[in-house]
A = this chain, B = another copy of it.
């Protein structure tokens, strides 16, 4: 991940402009709402004092900006699109942290953990509305397509998160379910980012479709790489404890692929991922804490098992295939080599996080 941060710093001017636009949007909120949002973005600490937390990677707004730039959008329109996707992304992070009871994000306590669930729900709602407001300032008739796409995308995120939640207690999750969930939870918003970039540039429908496919396949690739890192990534690369997806019994794609192998060992893996007996006891509708009696060696053994049953290979080849499809879609956007270069570089960078 540090590699990404460093390389994305090459786009320092873009990142600074996006940050400025986000701060301006958040400043329009009521002071107590803005304070919670500022904490979430890492601009302030829990007491509202300026802070220099490690910022998010801004992957989605950069994709929107780079696409808009490549297709000749003016700066203000490109930043409106960038702001909108970053606000929707953060809206869903804040709500998902409540839903998943995650207490930490980017090495800091999550919004609900600091300010309570009610404030987290409301601040998520505020960012959601701000995203549409950002789009409403686009010049001319592009607001309708942009708003329509963003609305549909939020509903794909909701659908993906609903499936993800259902996976926790389902024992019959198949590879196809996983792919569909990933498409909704990750790829849809990346596709929206590049597609909005094209819309605000006033691109032809065919170009916008190519931009959509570029973002979509890049999002699929991105999630497959994330799944690989969630099991086999080192803490210094991911910022999370090693084996974090195994600790959380996350039925990610490599795991589900391994479930489906013909090997008799698949049963052992399924047992490890069976819902805890107490997991149906829900406090105020939320899952109770995960049991924690496993040893590091158990996780290592499970990671090895997922790999032996072919789960790692499935994700790795899927990631490669989607990168290829993304680059093919980029070729369809009608840009010359120089124009496409920043998008191509970003795609390759996102795909190669696991080589660190």
A141 interface hit (Cβ, 8 Å): yes
Q: Is the CB of B158 within 8 A of A30?
A: yes
A266 interface hit (Cβ, 8 Å): no
Map CB proximity to B onto A135-148 as digits: 1 under 8 Å, 0 otherwise. Answer: 11110110111011
Interface size class of A (residues with CB under 8 A): 35 or more
A195 interface hit (Cβ, 8 Å): no
**Which of B33, B145, B151, B162 touches A158 (beta carbons < 8 Å)?**
B33
Q: How many copies does the complex hold?
A: 2
Map CB proximity to B onto A119-147 as digits: 1 under 8 Å, 0 otherwise. Answer: 11111111011101101111011011101
Q: How far is the CA of A284 from the CA of B283 in the complex (A)?
A: 10
> Residues of B contacting A137 with CB < 8 Å?
144, 148
> Residues of B contacting A98 with CB < 8 Å?
117-118, 121
> Residues of B contacting A95 with CB < 8 Å?
121-122, 125
> Residues of B contacting A138 with CB < 8 Å?
144
Q: Which residues of A contact B (CB under 8 A)?
A: 28-30, 32-33, 91-92, 95, 98-99, 112, 115-126, 128-130, 132-133, 135-138, 140-141, 143-145, 147-148, 150-152, 154-155, 157-159, 161-162, 165-166, 282-286
With contacts A130-B155, A147-B147 known, what are 8 further pairs, Cβ within 8 A? A99-B117, A99-B122, A125-B125, A125-B157, A125-B158, A126-B154, A128-B128, A138-B144
